[in-house]
Amino acid sequence: MARQAGIKLTSKQRNILRKFMEDAKDKREYRAAFGILLRAERKPAEYVAQKLGVTRKQVFAWCRKFKTEGVRALHPRKQTGRPAKEGMKAKKAIPMLLKHDPQSFGFLKGRWVLRDISKALKQENINLHYSGVHRVLAELSIVQKSPKLRAQGSLKKNYQKREELRRYKQISAALLKKELLSALRMRNG
């Protein structure tokens, strides 16, 4: 017997889902309800998943939860784990910190970088790794420029330095082999 595509909904369930979508405060709730309605219209799970930006597995999970628990299963659960207290403190401190020059905090650079922001926050008893600083900056919609790594001096000097490095890399392997061979000869006597 072939599997049926989609989920069967009564008109009352459809109306409940539409009302739920209207009152949804979270995009995850809306997306789940919309996915179930699409499945009720016999749309394939692959289509629904692609349209809503989730996996097929998630679409099936929504339908299964809705069948067993109804609409209240579509409410997102409270996140588990320790709350992000340091991130909340950092959200308040970072905008104030970025108003000042990094040199006033003892950093040599002329602009703020993630690691320096993290170190400055640690001085204020906010222990946040630089990757957490990156996340907080993204949440605050603060964009930082990436510094370009470039040797100081004229372009002609840079080309000369690059050429010297290239030549050294070519002969360094041969020099290393010679040193190893001479050390082995001395050891073997």
Report yes or no: 74 and 32 within 8 Å, Cβ to Cβ: yes
Cα 94 to Cα 121: distance, rounded to the nearest angstrom: 8
Q: Encoding tokens for residue 167?
A: 């030549």
Please give the pLDDT value at position 150: 53
Report yes or no: 86 and 126 within 8 Å, Cβ to Cβ: yes
Backbone angles phi, psi at 66, to 5 degrees: -65, -40
Would you write out the chain's pLDDT as a tens digit for each of its 189 residues? 445 567 888 899 999 999 989 988 888 899 999 999 999 998 999 999 999 999 999 999 999 999 899 888 888 877 788 777 888 889 999 999 988 888 888 888 788 888 899 999 999 899 988 888 998 998 888 887 665 545 555 555 667 777 777 777 777 767 666 666 776 676 665
CA-based nearest residue to 137, from 88, 85, 91, 84: 91
Please give the pLDDT value at position 189: 59
**Count of helix runs (H) and strand runs (E) in the chain:** 8, 0
Q: Encoding tokens for residue 119?
A: 């170190």
Please give the pLDDT value at position 2: 44
- 3-state helix vs strand vs coil in the chain, percent to 5: 65, 0, 35
